Amino acid sequence: MERPGDPVTDDREPHRLAVLGAGVMGTNITTLALGHGVPVTLIDVDQARLGEASELIARQLRMARLMNALPEGVETGELRTGAAVEDVVDATAVIEAVTEDAGIKAEVLAKVSAVVRPGTLIVSNTSSIPIDELAASVPDPGRLVGVHFMNPTYLIPTVEVIRGPRTADSAMAAVTALLTAVERRPIEVNDGPGFVTSRILHRMINDAVRVVEEGRASAESVDALMQGCLGHRTGPLRTADLIGLDNLADSLRVLHERTGDEGFRPAELLVCMVSEGKLGRKNGRGFYEYGEAS
């Protein structure tokens, strides 16, 4: 049964996407949408970051095409950038992809929900924060859906989709239509800290960090064992670098605070690496060294 509020529309064509946040996930999501012909308005209050975003997205589009990860014959969507949420008023869907901080996300969601048209799909891209917690900041909680894209979004075809307790059926239909338009496979899960992927993966990565911290094995050995013995594609510590060590630490804190499970308390080595500016692939230094930050 449809929940109260304006039904979320999913029949307006073409899709016009707004992405809030020009960080790693925001630019990744933008790349995916543009590569499938969907126009995107990318919003970020940090002008320096926004200025770098267009070049980064262009590089990612080139990489995605080289890897045959985008459909042939589809004209790249138009990219617009801006610093104000008011610039998203004409979007058919908005994806919030700011830092993994519940307070910041709630503030951004409240601002954008006040300017978009009634019935506009609102999506929070989060790896750990319960959707119903964020729904308190939205006047119509029925139109808020959670998604958890994996990095890089243009190479990983499956997306975790989180239905909050108050999420409307029409919102679920709308997010499915949007993901289908960019050739992603949505898998619906119920709400809760870390959902499915982060609840399982982040604990494993945190334990892998502790193994290195204890001097039991090097990062290379941990990853080689997890790859060769257990079939993990990249290894947990390369995965940590890809996620971003600061993002990982933030997600672990969310999980620790909301579950009380000490296994989610960020390992001291992880905290130290972040404080030293070792953030992973995005700045070229993490558990591994990278030739070029990405």
Beta bridge partners of 96: 20, 124
pLDDT at 293: 55
pLDDT score of 205 more than 70: yes
For residues 274-279, give the mean pLDDT.
98
Please state, in angstroms and rounded to a whole number, the distance separating the CA atoms of residues 7 and 17: 18
Beta-bridge partner residues of 146? 124, 162
Q: Label residue 81 by pLDDT band (50, 70, 90).
A: very high
What is 198-283's CATH superfamily? Answer: N-(1-d-carboxylethyl)-l-norvaline Dehydrogenase; domain 2 (1.10.1040.10)
Q: What is the pLDDT of residue 1?
A: 39
Check residue 13 and give its pLDDT.
60
- pLDDT of residue 265 exceeding 70, the answer is yes
Q: Which fold has domain 17-190?
A: Rossmann fold (3.40.50)
Contact by Cβ (8 Å): 57, 31: yes
Number of H helices, E strands in the chain: 10, 8
Residues 18 and 95 sit within 8 Å (Cβ to Cβ)? yes
What pLDDT does residue 242 have? 94
**Cβ contacts of 205 within 8 Å, gap of 6 or more:** 236, 237, 239, 240, 243, 248
Calculate mean pLDDT across residues 9-38: 90
Give which of 126, 96, 80, 59 is closest to 294, Cα–Cα.
59
DSSP letter for each residue of 105-143: HHHHHHHHHHHSPTT-EEEEE-SSS-HHHHHTTSSSGGG
Checking if the pLDDT of 202 tops 50, the result is yes
Six-digit token pair at 140? 């119509």
pLDDT of 6 over the 70 cut: no
Query: For residue 2, is pLDDT > 50?
Result: no
Question: Is the Cβ–Cβ distance between 5 and 168 less than 8 Å?
Answer: yes
Element (H, E) at 148: strand 144-148
- 201 exposure class (CB count in 10 Å sphere: 0-12, 13-18, 19+): buried
Tokens 């949505």 correspond to 186
Stretch(es) of the chain classified as CATH 1.10.1040.10: 198-283
Catalytic residue among 15, 36, 148, 256: 148
d(CA 100, CA 274): 15
Residue 163 sits at φ, ψ, to 5 deg, of -90, 115
> Using one digit for the tens of pLDDT, what is the confidence trace for 182-201?
999 999 999 999 999 999 99
Q: What is the pTM of this model?
A: 0.90
- ω into 118 cis (within 30 of 0): no
CATH 3.40.50.720 residue window(s) in the chain: 17-190
Please write the tens of the pLDDT for every residue from 103-139.
999 999 999 999 999 999 999 999 999 999 999 999 9
Q: State what percent of residues in the chain have pLDDT above 90.
A: 93
Mean model confidence pLDDT for the chain? 94
Residue 12 has pLDDT above 70, yes or no: no
**Could you tell me the two tokens for 173?**
């239909």
Active site residue 15: no
Rounded mean pLDDT, 145-169: 96
Q: What is the pLDDT of residue 287?
A: 98
> Cα 263 to chain center, whole Å?
23
pLDDT at 264 over 90: yes
pLDDT score of 5 more than 70: no
Task: Say whether pLDDT at 292 is over 90.
Answer: no
